[in-house]
Chains A and B, each alone.
Chain A
Amino acid sequence: DTEVTQTPKHLVMGMTNKKSLKCEQHMGHRAMYWYKQKAKKPPELMFVYSYEKLSINESVPSRFSPECPNSSLLNLHLHALQPEDSALYLCASSHLAWETQYFGPGTRLLVL
């Protein structure tokens, strides 16, 4: 089973809203990732968690706040986003931080 689930599938939010994206895997993977993909562009890494600890932050603005409450769950808290943050947000996981990453279907976010 190589399934990573993400909720919601679609999200529309205003610039003053606070929302959260959720990612879950039950494969026993200890590394989880957030990527951002703008339209017609390749995915770009945002954050990496390894053993529930943030190990990589690719200079992401503080309006994006990741959280890894346990080894199966990864959240991305959103606050005061801008319209240019509209994108497909992808979650991935891997058994260990240097192993093959498996992606979820993504959350398509629209900021108005």
Chain B
Amino acid sequence: DAKTTQPPSMDCAEGRAANLPCNHSTISGNEYVYWYRQIHSQGPQYIIHGLKNNETNEMASLIITEDRKSSTLILPHATLRDTAVYYCIVRVVVNSGYALNFGKGTSLLVTP
């Protein structure tokens, strides 16, 4: 299984871009990178996912390096409500489904 490594915590000033890195050096060619976040005591919220190309949606951008060994989630204008634990996950196919192997994540604190 491809594993991910994230910094345990990061700070970001409100209004600035938050850049959350993730290392997944053992990722296989057909494995997707997913990002979820979890605000305290709530269910995880899907943010974005990608395979090879950079992706953008209304919440964030995902930049994946050409060798696919690392990626960066970008929240372009962080707000206080973006304070959460952010999980970078490499999707693992298990039989007829897949498990989201949540790692320890990065605890992002957005400050005023």
Q: Which residues of A contact B (CB under 8 A)?
A: 2, 4, 31, 33, 35, 42-45, 48, 50, 55-56, 58, 88, 90, 92, 97-98, 100-106, 108
Q: Contacts A42-B103, A50-B97, A97-B97; is A88 near B41 (CB within 8 Å)?
A: yes
Q: Which residues of B contact A (CB under 8 A)?
A: 34, 36, 41-46, 49, 87, 93-100, 102-105
Instruction: Give the CA-CA distance A45 to B41 in the complex, in Å.
Output: 17
Since A98-B97, A98-B98, A100-B46 are in contact, a sample of 13 more A-B pairs with Cβ atoms closer than 8 Å, ordered by chain A residue number, is A33-B97, A42-B103, A45-B100, A55-B96, A58-B99, A92-B44, A97-B97, A101-B100, A103-B43, A103-B45, A105-B42, A106-B41, A106-B43
Question: Quick one: closest A residue to B45, CB to CB?
Answer: A103
A-B contact count (CB 8 A): 60
Indicate if the CB atoms of B100 and A50 lie closer than 8 Å.
Answer: no
Instruction: Give the CA-CA distance A95 to B69 in the complex, in Å.
Output: 28
